[in-house]
Amino acid sequence: MEEIFTNIFIDGNKLYTKNLIRGEKVYGEKLVDFKGMELREWNPRRSKLAAVIMKGYKDLPLKKDSKILYLGAATGTTVSHISDIVENGKIFSVESSERSMRQFLNISEMRDNVYPILEDASNPHLYSGLLEAVDLIYQDVAQKHQYKILMKNTTYLKKGGTVIYCVKAKSIDSSKSSEEVFKKEIKQMEKDFNIVETINLSPYEKDHIVIIAKLR
Ligand SMILES: C[S@@+](CC[C@H](N)C(=O)[O-])C[C@H]1O[C@@H](n2cnc3c(N)ncnc32)[C@H](O)[C@@H]1O
């Protein structure tokens, strides 16, 4: 077992985060003891950020005190691992589905660094009073007009801040090939961002890329 980033560990092909809430599982994952810590297995088939790390991404912009705006929290699988990593930070987590939010609330109640926000991320002004300027925006909403959603939310991103932008080709345009969709997304991003890396999530997710970029 080796710590590869802050609070992130790897053992062979298994990835873990240091559990912030000892004894608590979030989605049925395995808990493992290691040197007095409890680690939670992080499944790259359930979390695109885990897949990004398993694909060898080396420059993860997450520190113990990072502030993050997370768009598309769903039931909190990935948020919970980010919460393990940024133990003294804040994760402002936006989700528009009431059903997912209900389940997500159980997780966020236990984790002091998670701030759940039930809103449509297309209307970021609706949550302006609920958050602070952030170091990172993580977006995983799987929507046709998701780039517009991202751009609207950059108003909360600190200068030089990073975005991790998940692209599911079929959600953006199912009539085009994945490669065409990826090319278009990258091209439009290049207008506003310096792209740091583009990672194809295969074999963990089919027809998905994640773009890591810095706001210009
Ligand atoms: C692919 S799932 C996210 C999975 C999650 N990021 C994870 O790794 O655990 C996409 C989520 O985005 C949410 N979503 C879609 N459009 C949204 C919007 N405009 N505002 C907020 N959430 C949205 C959906 O309800 C869904 O829960």
The atom of ligand 1 lying closest to the CA of 79 is: 9
| Distance separating alpha carbons of residues 102 and 157, to the nearest angstrom | 27
- Cβ atoms < 10 Å from Cβ of 115: 20
User: Any long-range contacts for 14-20 (C-beta under 8 Å, 24+ apart)?
Assistant: 14/41, 15/41, 15/42, 15/43, 15/44, 15/50, 15/53, 15/54, 16/40, 16/41, 16/42, 17/42, 17/81, 17/84, 17/85, 18/84, 18/87, 19/84, 20/83, 20/84, 20/87, 20/111, 20/113
Taking only the tens place, the pLDDT of each residue in 83-136 is 999 999 999 999 999 999 999 999 999 999 999 999 999 999 999 999 999 999
Mean pLDDT along residues 46-53: 98
- What is the residue whose two structure tokens read 């710590």? 3
Distance from first CA to last CA of the chain, Å, rounded?
38
Kindly state the tokens that stand for 178: 């994945």
| Distance separating alpha carbons of residues 197 and 199, to the nearest angstrom | 6
Domain ranges of the chain: 44-215
Ligand 1 pocket (Cβ < 6 Å) reads 47-48, 71-72, 74, 77-78, 94-97, 100, 120-122, 140-143, 149
Tell me, what's the pLDDT at 58? 86
Mean pLDDT along residues 36-61: 96
The CATH homologous superfamily for domain 44-215 is Vaccinia Virus protein VP39 (3.40.50.150)
Expressed in angstroms and rounded, the spacing between residue 35 Cα and the centre of ligand 1 is 35
Expressed in angstroms and rounded, the spacing between residue 12 Cα and the centre of ligand 1 is 30
Tell me, what's the pLDDT at 123? 98
- Cβ atoms < 10 Å from Cβ of 187: 9
Instruction: Phi first, then psi: give them for residue 108, nearest 5 degrees.
Output: -70, -25
pTM of the full structure = 0.97
| Distance separating alpha carbons of residues 20 and 112, to the nearest angstrom | 10
Does 216 score more than 90 pLDDT?
no
Does 153 score more than 90 pLDDT?
yes
| Distance separating alpha carbons of residues 203 and 208, to the nearest angstrom | 10
